[in-house]
Amino acid sequence: MPLAGWTPVKCNNLSHCASSIMSSSIKEKLLLYRLQAKHDPDAFAELYDLYIKRIYRFVYFKVSGKEEAEDITSEVFLKAWNYAINDSKEIKSFSGLLYRLARNAVIDLYRRRSTQPQTVIIPEEMELSDGGKWYEDLSNNADAAQIIAALKKLKQEYQEVLTLRYVDELEIDEIAEITGKGGIATRVTIHRAMKKLKEILQ
């Protein structure tokens, strides 16, 4: 969905973007400043490129099809754009804002359907991780198919924190902000979820 006032600019060289001297957090803050202070559509386009794949995957894990995931993802970025240029409140974390908007959009979808699924749908063809760190706390004998099958057996809360932590590689405080939990509670939930996942994989 095209957003008024900006045109997405694709980043075709992800390895070059990732190896930039400037850290992603500093880059995000500078882009956020340009977006909120100057309503710079190019800054938003860069933020879009940074997070579109992650937000789409986060949504796709929770809904039943690509078209639905694409619609929700477009809605999320549209809301983020409008929030950034119309709200005077400072955005501390753009990624946090996107994940909260995405999570709420999925919840709204389930409410409209008058049903709440018990598990998150994780398609087999999706990538498990951009950073290749998914396996570090799991058994060396577990392959991607086993992990996906095990994830599907976890309750929704556990699936969500594990995908946020190990698929999207978010920090604990980011996950806490997205889920509305405290830092300690988030750590405990991740620990319990990982313990349960390892039990299933054994």
pLDDT at 80: 93
Most confidently modeled range among 65-74, 138-147, 160-169? 65-74
Mean pLDDT in residue range 7-29: 55
**Cα-Cα-Cα-Cα dihedral of 100, 37, 1, 56, to 10°?**
-30
Asked if the model's pLDDT at residue 124 lies above 50, the reply is: no
User: Any idea which residue has 């190019």 for tokens?
Assistant: 42
pLDDT at 2: 41
Nearest alpha carbon to residue 53 among 6, 89, 5, 18 = 18
Higher pLDDT, 151 or 46: 46
Rounded distance, CA 186 to CA 176, Å? 6
**Token pair recorded at residue 43:** 């800054």
- Which whole-number Å values give the CA distances from 45 to 53, 83, 179, in the listed order? 13, 15, 26
pLDDT at 142: 56
Mean pLDDT in residue range 2-31: 55
Domains in the chain: boundaries: 11-117, 122-202
Rounded distance, CA 167 to CA 51, Å? 13
Threshold 0.85, pTM exceeds:
no
Give 116's pLDDT tier (boundaries 50, 70, 90): low
Rounded distance, CA 43 to CA 32, Å? 7
Per CATH, domain 11-117 is 1.10.1740.10? yes
Buried b (16+ CB within 10 A) or exposed e, 90-118: ebebbbbbbbbbbbebbeebeeeeeeeee
The angle subtended at Cα 161 by Cα 111 and Cα 146, nearest 5°, is 105
Alpha-carbon torsion 165, 102, 154, 65, what sign? negative
Per CATH, domain 122-202 is 1.10.10.410? no
| Mean pLDDT score of the chain | 76
Could you tell me if 111 and 62 are in contact, meaning their C-beta atoms sit under 8 angstroms apart?
no
